[in-house]
Structure 1
């Protein structure tokens, strides 16, 4: 009995120590949360969509569950960070290299909504789009606005990177979700079609504008292998989601006034953007080879890797929907293969993330027992 009391006390002390260590780890993780971490939800949701489009229902449902759970966890983390570390949130928003990552929240809401719409959850899709609209409005003026008129010590353009295209992705996700709801709710079709087309047009113009800025940045200054981050895959992802949104708009009744005025433009630009996004893929692969093979940079888990998975999944979903909407069957055939490339990329990054979380947990446990 005399030894049991000290053992119980030691056990309780150890448990409290582990709890405190876990709390500190969570606190630090929230403080350092990458603004673009919601790309995890975008990537998982769109790969789930692609699998669903080709009839792989069970696997698609598993990924949908993962996407919903991840979004719930990240939503808590984002809100916690906003309340507990508001200065870091503002600093990230004013950082040209990180600020546009917040648009992953807009895109995550709408990618989830469009995936749930495939299960006939139109009301949820509409609610998520409604929530994302004011968030998009705030971000679309606050982030670029702070870079233009805010106090800055260094030039903005040298800090540009592929994450700037998340502005386009967020905008086009809103266009796609709006068109998706409009197609399924006849009473709202006439009123939702114009904003859907308007968002799509804004997204296309933003893409063209950012294409020049980011490409000039790549060509003007020497670019180190480390600077060729996975966010540059959003170059292609922005075109892919523009094509997906175009397909959703083309599914609306052709006799609507806004469709009568813009349908040829939406259809034509949709295909041109698909072709341009396809052209980008070999160049982006060259970037990856340059960073990870030629430079021998160690490949490890980084949240920005989800920004590479998302375009791969989006390319498959966009090619499928646009190909079916326009009768271009070869696009569907390409997507039938490419959807598994997207899933494979998702699995690799998910395993890397899980391994990092497990290692972090073990280090925390070892530190607590010392």
Structure 2
């Protein structure tokens, strides 16, 4: 018996927690938004099932992350300082707000607001700590060399905060929340432009290898989709809020451009996958990054339905309803691969204790 198999079950779980990636909450994001897409398409029962799976996963992963931060500080700190991994921490912010979105959609806004308050604290900390680490800490090579699709999680988290603020403005008739939602949406759009430029420069100026072209690049599209959802939430607010009246036209037009751009990205992202797995025979296995495919698909479905209905564009809403039938099977396939990896990891003789969380 080799590797971590000789450690016993307790030792193997400790090893798994030590290797828990910062982006582990991507499962919560993906499951929660597919739940929202199902509810938007008129399927409340499967939506509720997926919601409770996402909520349970949020609690479990939060406990595991706290355990890791306390018991494995070296590994936790190394990931926090890594330009490749540290943006994954934004999945916690987005995961909280996606779960909160379900509460807003089902008439329980107080619970959604409570989650948004926790998410806000995490967003503020990460929004300023991560750039400080990237720009002020000494690096052995240019930071741009490590730019990848996970950097768009900053945009996703920011737009999730905008969505939460807009929902609070609608429920509480608060101009302050409306201003916050509009401001966060604008910040998210600017961040998308900045990060999109950096990641594209990385793609066109460095050699692309199968192991490097991970599913995280699907967040190129996911970031546009959640920007459309956040914009749609703003457009649902009345013009009695000056912040909304002053930028309604811009939000409407920009949201449509972002929606179009996100849809345009999909075929190219599929080509990336074919190049990786078919042309270069890169083995398809479970990795946390797979949820970076599921989440954008679920978000594209949800945002298209909401935006299409808000703007009176049934063609856009119909595309969203169609994408639901892609997002749900994608979620099921990712779950199957995750469970299969966990079963292999639990078998006696398994060589890698990180197999279920890598």
Higher relative contact order (CA 8 A, sep 6+): 2
* 1:18-29 alignment runs, 5 A limit: 21-29=8-16
Q: Could you tell me how far apart the structure 2 residues matched to 1:288 and 1:94 are? A: 29
* 1:59-74 alignment runs, 5 A limit: 59-74=46-61
Q: Does 1:239 align with 2:224?
A: yes
Could you tell me how far 1:90 is from its partner in structure 2?
2.0
Could you tell me how far 1:19 is from its partner in structure 2?
12
Match in the other structure for 2:91: 104
Q: Is the 8 A contact 1:21 1:364 kept in 2?
A: no
Match in the other structure for 1:140: 127
Runs of at least 4 residues off by over 4 Å: 364-367
Could you tell me how far 1:26 is from its partner in structure 2?
1.1
The equivalent position to 1:255 in structure 2, one of 229, 232, 240, is 240
Query: Deviations 1:51-75 (Å, cap 9, x if unpaired)?
Result: 0011111111110111011111100
Structure 2 length-normalised TM: 0.95
Q: Is the 8 A contact 2:344 2:350 kept in 1?
A: no
Could you tell me how far 1:94 is from its partner in structure 2?
1.6
Q: Could you tell me how far apart the structure 1 residues matched to 2:341 and 2:152 are? A: 27
Q: Could you tell me how far apart the structure 1 residues matched to 2:207 and 2:344 are? A: 35
* 1:54-93 alignment runs, 5 A limit: 54-93=41-80
Q: Could you tell me how far apart the structure 1 residues matched to 2:285 and 2:132 are? A: 34
Q: Could you tell me how far apart the structure 1 residues matched to 2:345 and 2:195 are? A: 37
The alignment covers a number of residue pairs equal to 348
Could you tell me how far 1:366 is from its partner in structure 2?
12
When the two chains are superposed, the root-mean-square deviation of aligned CA atoms in Å is: 1.6
Q: Could you tell me how far apart the structure 2 residues matched to 1:206 and 1:280 are? A: 18
Query: Deviations 1:269-296 (Å, cap 9, x if unpaired)?
Result: 0100000111100110000001111101
Q: Could you tell me how far apart the structure 1 residues matched to 2:6 and 2:324 are? A: 42
Relative to structure 1, the CA distance from residue 61 to residue 364 in structure 2 (aligned partners, 3 Å threshold; closer, same or farther) is farther
* 1:263-278 alignment runs, 5 A limit: 263-278=248-263
Relative to structure 1, the CA distance from residue 55 to residue 364 in structure 2 (aligned partners, 3 Å threshold; closer, same or farther) is farther
Q: Could you tell me how far apart the structure 2 residues matched to 1:85 and 1:203 are? A: 33
Match in the other structure for 1:216: 201
The equivalent position to 1:171 in structure 2, one of 158, 168, 171, is 158
Q: Could you tell me how far apart the structure 2 residues matched to 1:234 and 1:360 are? A: 28
Relative to structure 1, the CA distance from residue 366 to residue 293 in structure 2 (aligned partners, 3 Å threshold; closer, same or farther) is closer
Match in the other structure for 1:113: 100
Relative to structure 1, the CA distance from residue 38 to residue 366 in structure 2 (aligned partners, 3 Å threshold; closer, same or farther) is closer
Match in the other structure for 1:314: 299
Q: Could you tell me how far apart the structure 2 residues matched to 1:223 and 1:172 are? A: 29
| Most deviating of 87-96 and 139-148 | 87-96
Q: Could you tell me how far apart the structure 1 residues matched to 2:315 and 2:167 are? A: 24
Q: Could you tell me how far apart the structure 1 residues matched to 2:128 and 2:191 are? A: 13
The equivalent position to 2:266 in structure 1, one of 260, 270, 281, is 281
Match in the other structure for 1:46: 33
Relative to structure 1, the CA distance from residue 324 to residue 152 in structure 2 (aligned partners, 3 Å threshold; closer, same or farther) is same
Larger radius of gyration: 1
Match in the other structure for 1:185: 172
Relative to structure 1, the CA distance from residue 150 to residue 366 in structure 2 (aligned partners, 3 Å threshold; closer, same or farther) is closer
Q: Could you tell me how far apart the structure 2 residues matched to 1:127 and 1:224 are? A: 43
Q: 3-state SS of the aligned residue for 2:160?
A: helix
Match in the other structure for 1:10: none
Q: Is the 8 A contact 2:149 2:199 kept in 1?
A: yes
Match in the other structure for 2:334: 349
Match in the other structure for 1:32: 19
* 1:292-307 alignment runs, 5 A limit: 292-307=277-292
Mark the runs of 5 or more structure 2 residues left unpaired by the alignment. Answer: 353-358
Match in the other structure for 1:7: none
Q: Is the 8 A contact 1:174 1:199 kept in 2?
A: yes
Could you tell me how far 1:265 is from its partner in structure 2?
1.1
Could you tell me how far 1:87 is from its partner in structure 2?
2.4
Q: Could you tell me how far apart the structure 2 residues matched to 1:132 and 1:364 are? A: 40
